C-alpha cells in the first residue's frame, strides 16, 4: 500500500480531483489523504464518496501552533506553512510507515511507486526542479521543488519532517528573505544537513520549467514517455501543471514558460478537457460555486498590450479561449 497526502481548497478542487483520478488510473494499491482548506470543498468531496480517499478538514488537523501563525499568513502562505504538518499528521494519526506528499496540480501518466521505490533504504525523497537554463530560479525559488516528497516514519525521516515543520511555523512567506522562500528554499540544505535524504534520479518528474529539454512521445493517444533531446526514452511519471489558471470570459492561461505545439497537444489539451469534464460533473452536486479558481482581471490595465507583445516575442503567450483550445 502506497500512502499519499495532498491539500487544496475550492479554488483548486477540479485540479485535485484530476490528480486523484490520474493516480487511480495507474495505481493498483494506494490511499490518498486529502486535507481540505475550506468548508465548500469539504462538503463537496464528502458528497462524492471517493474510493481510496480519506477527507480531513481544517478543524480536524489544525493545532495551536498553526492557529497561532494563521492570521499572519495569506491563504497561499498558510497552505505552504501547513505542508509539513499534513504529512506529519497523516503519518502519526494513521500510523503509516511512509507517506508521500503530492501537489494538487500534478497529473500522473504512470504509477508513481517507481519513484518511491528508488529511495530504497533512505528516509526522505526530494525532487529537483531541473530547470531549463533560461528559467533557472534556484537562487530564490530553490534547487528542489515541494511537489512530490516522501517521508518514512523512522528516526531519520521524522527528524527532517519535524525540523521542516518547525521552520515553516517560524517563517513561511511568499517572498525571498535571508535565504528563505516559502516552504521550499528550506530543502536546499537537506542533503548535507541530514542523513537519509535521497534526491530523485528518475527523469520522469516533468514540469513547465524543464519541459523544453524533452521531446514528447505518445502511443495510442496516451502519453507514454519523454525523450531527452540528448538521451534515450524513459517513461513520464507525472507532469506538474503549474501556472494553469482559469480566467474570466472563458479563457485559460497555461503559464509563463515556453511551450511548443507538441506540449500543448499531448499534455495541456487532454488535461484541460479532463478539468472541464470534472467541472461539469461537480456542477451536478453544486452549480453555484466556482471550483476552478476563476481569475477576474477587473478593469482594463494599460500594460496589458505591452505584456502581450513581450510574451508573444519571447514565445510564452499561453492564454487561449477554452473553446479555441479544446473545442
pLDDT at position 235 is: 84
CA dist 254 and 318 (Å) reads 5
Work out the pLDDT band at 327, boundaries 50, 70, 90: confident
| Residues 132 and 275 occupy one common structural domain | no
pLDDT at position 302 is: 46
Among 167, 202, 237, the domain-final residue is 202
| Residues 218 and 157 occupy one common structural domain | no
Contact (CB, 8 A) for 180 and 186: yes
Q: Is 157 exposed, middle or buried (0-12, 13-18, 19+ CB in 10 A)?
A: buried
Q: Return the HEC string of the chain.
A: CEEEEEEECHHHHHHHHHHHHHHHHHCCCEEEEEEECCHHHHHHHHHHCCCCEEEEEHHHHCCHHHHHHHHHCCHHHHHHHHHHHHHHHHHHHCCCCEEEEECCCEEECCCCHHHHHHCCCCCEEEEECCCCHHHCCHHHHCCEEEEEEEEECCHHHHHHHHHHHHHHHHCCCCCEECCEECCCHHHHHHHHHCCCEEECCCCCEECCCCHHHEEEEEECCEEEEEEECCCCEECCCEEECCCCEEECCCEEECCCCCCCHHHHHHHHHHHHHHHHHHHHHHHCCCCCCCCCCCECCCCCCCCHHHHHHHHHHHCCCCEEEHHHHHC
Output the domain CATH number for residue 179: 3.90.550.10
| Residues 150 and 194 occupy one common structural domain | yes
| Residues 39 and 157 occupy one common structural domain | yes
What nine digits make up the cell of 209?
520549467
Other Cβ atoms closer than 10 A to 265: 12
Across the range 287-314, mean pLDDT stands at: 68
| Residues 47 and 193 occupy one common structural domain | yes
Contact (CB, 8 A) for 48 and 81: no
Work out the pLDDT band at 162, boundaries 50, 70, 90: very high
| Residues 50 and 170 occupy one common structural domain | yes
Work out the pLDDT band at 301, boundaries 50, 70, 90: very low
CA dist 186 and 190 (Å) reads 8
Among 202, 231, 247, the domain-final residue is 202
- End-to-end Cα spacing for the chain: 39
| Residues 150 and 25 occupy one common structural domain | yes
| Residues 111 and 43 occupy one common structural domain | yes
Work out the pLDDT band at 298, boundaries 50, 70, 90: low
Q: Phi-psi bin for 182: left (phi > 0), alpha (psi -120 to 50), beta? A: left
| Residues 130 and 239 occupy one common structural domain | no
Across the range 274-297, mean pLDDT stands at: 91
| Residues 196 and 216 occupy one common structural domain | no
| Cβ contacts of 266 within 8 Å, gap of 6 or more | 216, 218, 223
Among 182, 202, 222, the domain-final residue is 202
What domain range includes position 239?
A: 211-326
pLDDT at residue 309 tops 70:
no
- Of 105, 129, 115, 94, residue with least CA distance to 7: 105
The number of folded domains in the chain is 2
Q: What is the pLDDT of residues 148-157, one digit of tens each?
A: 999 999 999 9
For the chain, the average pLDDT equals 91
| Residues 195 and 246 occupy one common structural domain | no
What nine digits make up the cell of 34?
486529502
| Residues 159 and 265 occupy one common structural domain | no
Amino acid at each position: 500500500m502506497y500512502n499519499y497526502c495532498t491539500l487544496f481548497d475550492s479554488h483548486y478542487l477540479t485540479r485535485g480531483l484530476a490528480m486523484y483520478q490520474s493516480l487511480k488510473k495507474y495505481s493498483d494499491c494506494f490511499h490518498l489523504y486529502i486535507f481540505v482548506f475550506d468548508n465548500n470543498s469539504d462538503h463537496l468531496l464528502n458528497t462524492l464518496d471517493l474510493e481510496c480517499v480519506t477527507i480531513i478538514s481544517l478543524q480536524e488537523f489544525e493545532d495551536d501552533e498553526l492557529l497561532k501563525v494563521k492570521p499572519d499568513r495569506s491563504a497561499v502562505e498558510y497552505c505552504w506553512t501547513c505542508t509539513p504538518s499534513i504529512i506529519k499528521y497523516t503519518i502519526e494519526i494513521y500510523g503509516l510507515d511512509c507517506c508521500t506528499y503530492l501537489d494538487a496540480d500534478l497529473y500522473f501518466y504512470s504509477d508513481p511507486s517507481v519513484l518511491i521505490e528508488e529511495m530504497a533504504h533512505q528516509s526522505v525523497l526530494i525532487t529537483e526542479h531541473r530547470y531549463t537554463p533560461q528559467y533557472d530560479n534556484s537562487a530564490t525559488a530553490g534547487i528542489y521543488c515541494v511537489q512530490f516528497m516522501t517521508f518514512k516514519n523512522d528516526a531519520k525521516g521524522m527528524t527532517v519532517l519535524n525540523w521542516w515543520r518547525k521552520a515553516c511555523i517560524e517563517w513561511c512567506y511568499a517572498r525571498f528573505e535571508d535565504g528563505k522562500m516559502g516552504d521550499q528554499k528550506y530543502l536546499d540544505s537537506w542533503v548535507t544537513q541530514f542523513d537519509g535524504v535521497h534526491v530523485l534520479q528518475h527523469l520522469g518528474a516533468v514540469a513547465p520549467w524543464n519541459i523544453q529539454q524533452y521531446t514528447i512521445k505518445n502511443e495510442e493517444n496516451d502519453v507514454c514517455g519523454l525523450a531527452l533531446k540528448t538521451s534515450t526514452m524513459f517513461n513520464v511519471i507525472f507532469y506538474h501543471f503549474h501556472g494553469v489558471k482559469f480566467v474570466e470570459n472563458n479563457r485559460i492561461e497555461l503559464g509563463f514558460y515556453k511551450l511548443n505545439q507538441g506540449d500543448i497537444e499531448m499534455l495541456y489539451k487532454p488535461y484541460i478537457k479532463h478539468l472541464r469534464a470534472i467541472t461539469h460533473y461537480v456542477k451536478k452536486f453544486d452549480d453555484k460555486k466556482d471550483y476552478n479558481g476563476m481569475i477576474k482581471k477587473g478593469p482594463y490595465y494599460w500594460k496589458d498590450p505591452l505584456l502581450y507583445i513581450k510574451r508573444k516575442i519571447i514565445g510564452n503567450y499561453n492564454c487561449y479561449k477554452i473553446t479555441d483550445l479544446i473545442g
